[in-house]
Structure 1
Amino acid sequence: MSRSGARAAAGGRKTRTAAAVLATAAGLALTACAPGGSAPAATPRAAVSTEIGTEQIELSLYNSQGSKAKTEALIKGFEAEHPNIDITARYDPDNVVSQNLPRLLSSPDSPDLALSTGAVVDNVRKGLLVNLEPYAEAYGWDALPSSQLASARVSAEGIQGQGSLYAMPDGFTLTGMFYNKQLAAKLGMDKPPASVAELEALLAKAKDAGITPIMTAGQLGLGTTAYQDLLNNELGPQKVNEWIYRVPGSTIDNADGVRAAQTLKKWVDAGYFNDDANGTSQDASYSRFADGEALFMFQGNWAVPILAPGMKDNLGFALFPPVEEGGPVAAMSGPASPFAISAQSEHPDAAAAFLDWLRSDEARRIAVDNGLAPVGTADQELPPVKAGTVEEAVQQGFRQLSADNGLVDFVQNATAGIQVNAWNPESQRLFGGQASPQEFVTAVQRVYESELGK
């Protein structure tokens, strides 16, 4: 991007030793159009290269305040390997990043690198982001499991999850089943359940032993987590993602969606959840689970820093099991900070080098140190973590998920208001006995279509 008063070159420059890879990129900044619209004209760019030279380059980066510590560590590590590149970061409060990003990307002082939020389709349609496909080819990003990059893709028809790549994540969240190892041992559970049938047998055994099988925070509609775990198995990761990414014709109001809701309702009726689920807050669910009140809690790896200090080695983690033992796993997982390159950047090659560095051993270690699962292939060596800890279980779970290409976005992300207008109230109605499984999925699908203007 255009800058005045650029910083003078400092000492300690180095040349990137990797061979240059050139790719024709006349359509690098080609942007997608909204469904029913026409694609804007492409902005031609020169061929891309993985060589970034030795001249001093200044880049700017925009991210959320909550990601500052992690992002600063990434910047420090990258600059240590590329001393001719200086990255200056700006951070805004987490709750204003989404509304500020389009304005910043379209301003004369646009950041070179920016957090790509849920409005990626709109930002691509407006021509604000660089199409990363030539860089993906040059750097070999296509070797990554496709589900790790699905949320950062946008098609020429304006459909997320398909088409060209527009961002690279720095790590991932991961959902699964936290479990109390001491309670599990009392029930004879010496390893996580390998199938839904094994899980249901454990839930029944816990209930018979007077142990709450699953702790959930229904006050926030987190019964939805259990429903999506079941939906991922019934409908399949691809179809669930298509629904979340608004692919025309997508629905959960079908036999698969209802079957998942029927299983959830069966669990509710069997007393497999805390009986006050609809009145339980998230904080209360954490403390009650940590105090040993339940065998399982279906949550994400963001809960590790909350649960681990008190539970220590008593805290276990496993992915939600497939229907049949040995089948592919699927789990909700989202990119922590997916970074995009501004279409106004004057140094897209240098910015792309930062994106590629997010796959490095050092960047993967930083992701793990910040409680995330790292970007990478399933056969890459995991960053070191203490053996036998919940942190190790999370990393091993993500490796398995990557091997099965089973990353699924969160159903709460399907539309801007669907969590508040559908998932929260409708899951509470299902848990409270005011809605049947069919009524539950029909109501959610109705809100989904209403918010999409169908």
Structure 2
Amino acid sequence: MKGFKLTICLVLLLSMLAACSKGNDASSKTPANGNKQGGEQTQQAEKEVKLTFFNTSAEVNEVFEKLFKSYHELHPNVTVELIPTPIGGAQIEKFQSLLASGNPATIANLDAGTILQYKDSFLNLDSEKAKYEGLTKPGAVEGALLDGKFLGIPWTAQGYGLLYNKRAVEEALGGTFDPASIKTRDDLEAVFKKIQASGKAPVMIHGADWSLGAHYLGLTYSLQSDKVDENRKFVESLESGNTKLADNSQFNGLMDTFDLLKKYNARQKDPLVADYNKDSADFAKGEAAFYFMGDWTWAVIGPLEGRDKEFGVIPVPISNNPDDYGNSQIAYSEPKLFAIDNSGSTPEQQKAAKEFIEWMVTSQEGQDAIISQMGLSMPYKDVKVKGTNIISDAVSKYVDQGKVMNIGVINYLPQDYWSKTGASMQKYLVGKTDRKGLAEEVQQYWEYQGRK
């Protein structure tokens, strides 16, 4: 906000100086050099700058376009044009074609892993790092670093774990539910047993490969350490074959918990249907008390008629030792970052892009668009807008307490890791392979990556 105000003041000041200069020309014959300098400054201040914005959050294209218009009204010399991408379409291929054609977008809203892949094409924002460390919650900038460089500005955050429907849980328990009471796997099963005895389904597992491969099995790579670099070393040791997944305690603990979820799964009869809208809606209406999912599901749950009103989230317990890493932390990441092109953009465009991004994440209007209209959570300290996403609010409480698991290691994983290993998890979910077979398939995937 400070940068935004400074820009407005500068434009006004330069405009006033130019006006005074013209008035002096008529009455006092100001030296020519003075006129020239003032004219150049005014011309520079009013120079038109066009920015293009490549957006992979396609479901909120219209919200971004409204923001672009609002910013143009405040800064008539800056125009921001959307480069839309289809939902679930060939987004990266389009980004690659723009880059290859020498006509890259000035700003790109991309997954952190994609920014890392094309890191040489993006502006190093280390000069902005201290500012954003001051604006964001602790760990937000650190979580956005890619190979130690600040290449993308965080603007939204997501968390996931075991969501719970408060009414469904408390009706089954016959009293108040304290989420902090679940510290271990046995604690979780004790609650599941009571819910099942009441006639309700204890938990919902969404059977899609992205949920099973990226979000569930993917926890294995983040549970090794609270440091991303250590988790990267673990993945490298899987690739080299020096570490065997079957012998890893975090993997086995995670799968022991998965066995528990399988046992009490509301979709036992047909676990691979994976109808995301139906699973989310059934959970929202109390058909299942818990749901392994993230706060992004609010896009489905929020608008539903007849849904329950109160929801929360707890970590996925991976052992019976409450002190083990992961038992009190929910998975948390900044899935998208704003990156600025450094391959074809001018210094004027880069400067304008920095100012525009800062306005989007700090202004009332920008935060309202992101939080209220997009339904997302922001990892910023001074949030001026109250969101409607109840699950994001629950995630934020863990963030404020520092009880989050940094899953940034996924930014360094191959782009197909979740689909390949997710297919193996699907086989395990329906009983077509056992724990040993699952571990062997996932191990083979990583060792293949190591040979590439």
Q: 1:134 aligns with which of 110, 127, 130?
A: 127
1:384 to 383, 386, 397: 386
Secondary structure of the residue aligned to 2:118 is helix
What letter corresponds to residue 198 of structure 2 in structure 1?
A
What corresponds to 2:216 in structure 1? 227
Contact kept? 2:203, 2:264, Cα under 8 Å: no
- For 1:223 and 1:274, the matched residues in 2 are separated by 14
Paired AA for residue 397 in structure 1 = V
**Alignment: residue pair count:** 389
Q: Which residue of 1 aligns with 2:160?
A: 175
Deviation for aligned residue 1:71? 1.7
- Verify the 8 A CA contact 1:169 1:339 in the aligned structure 2: no
Match of 2:283 in 1: 289
1:419-439: CA deviations, max 9, x gaps? 33222x222232233434344
Listed as ranges, the gaps of 5+ residues in structure 1 are 1-12, 18-51, 156-162
**Paired position in structure 2 for 1:354:** 356
The alignment's TM-score, normalised by the length of structure 2, stands at 0.73
After TM superposition, the structure 1 stretch with the greater mean CA deviation from structure 2, 127-136 or 103-112, is 103-112
Superimposed CA distance per residue, residues 370-391 of structure 1 (whole angstroms, 9 cap, x where no aligned partner): 11111314xx3462246xxxx2
Closer, same or farther: CA 266–116 of 1 in aligned 2, 3 Å: closer
Give the superposition deviation at 1:324.
Answer: 3.3
Q: Check 1:241–1:67 CA distance in 2 against 1; reply closer, same or farther (3 A cut).
A: farther
Query: Which of the numbers 428, 431, 446 marks the counterpart of 1:430?
Result: 428
Matches within 5 A, 1:227-246: 227-228=216-217, 231=220, 234-238=223-227, 242-243=231-232
Give 1:288 deviation, angstroms.
3.3
Give the fraction of aligned pairs with identical amino acids, expressed as a percent. Answer: 18
Residue ranges of structure 2 left out of the alignment (5+ in a row): 1-6, 12-43
Instruction: Give matches, 1:230-379, under 5 Å.
Output: 231=220, 234-238=223-227, 242-243=231-232, 248-249=236-237, 253=245, 254-268=248-262, 270-282=263-275, 283-308=277-302, 309-320=304-315, 324=322, 329-336=329-336, 338-346=338-346, 347=348, 348-362=350-364, 363-369=366-372, 370-377=374-381
Q: How many Å separate the matches in 1 of 2:48 and 2:269? A: 60
Q: CA RMSD in A?
A: 3.6
CA distance in structure 2 between the aligned counterparts of 1:16 and 1:241, rounded to whole angstroms: 46
1:61 corresponds to which of 53, 56, 62:
53
Offset, 1:131 = 0.9
Who is 2:78 aligned against? 85
Amino acid across the alignment from 1:181: K
**Per-residue CA distance 1:340-372 (angstroms, 9 max, x = gap):** 333321121111112222430422222112111
Give the drift of 1:164: 0.6
**Deviation at residue 213 of structure 1 after TM alignment:** 0.9
279 and 128 in structure 1: CA distance in 2 versus 1, 3 angstrom threshold: closer
Counterpart for residue 398 of structure 2: 400
Counterparts in 2 of 1:199 and 1:81: CA distance versus 1, 3 Å:
farther
SS at match of 2:79: strand
CA shift, 1:272, in A, is: 4.6
CA contact (8 A) 2:52 2:107 kept: yes
- Structure 1 distance, partners of 2:63, 2:416, is 29
CA contact (8 A) 1:14 1:84 kept: no
1:106-255 alignment runs, 5 A limit: 106-117=100-111, 118-124=113-119, 127-137=120-130, 139-141=131-133, 144-145=136-137, 147-149=139-141, 152-155=144-147, 163-186=148-171, 187-188=173-174, 190-194=176-180, 195-197=182-184, 198-218=187-207, 220=209, 222-224=211-213, 227-228=216-217, 231=220, 234-238=223-227, 242-243=231-232, 248-249=236-237, 253=245, 254-255=248-249
Separation in structure 1 between the aligned mates of residue 203 and residue 145 of structure 2, nearest angstrom: 35
CA contact (8 A) 1:216 1:298 kept: yes
Q: Which moved more, 1:391-400 or 1:202-211?
A: 391-400
Determine helix, strand or coil for the equivalent of 1:297.
strand
What's the CA shift for 1:122? 2.8
Amino acid at match of 2:65: E
Distance 1:144 1:14, change over 3 A: closer
In structure 2, the CA distance between the partners of 1:103 and 1:371, relative to structure 1 (3 Å rule), is: same
Instruction: State the Cα distance separating 1:236 from its structure 2 match.
Output: 4.2
Alpha-carbon distance in structure 2 between the residues aligned to 1:448 and 1:311: 45
1:332 to partner: Cα distance: 4.1
CA distance in 1, matches of 2:445, 2:190: 35
The structure that is helix-richer by fraction is 2
> For the structure 1 residues 364 and 446, does the alpha-carbon distance in structure 2 shift closer, same or farther, using more than 3 Å as the test?
farther
Moved more, 438-447 or 408-417: 408-417
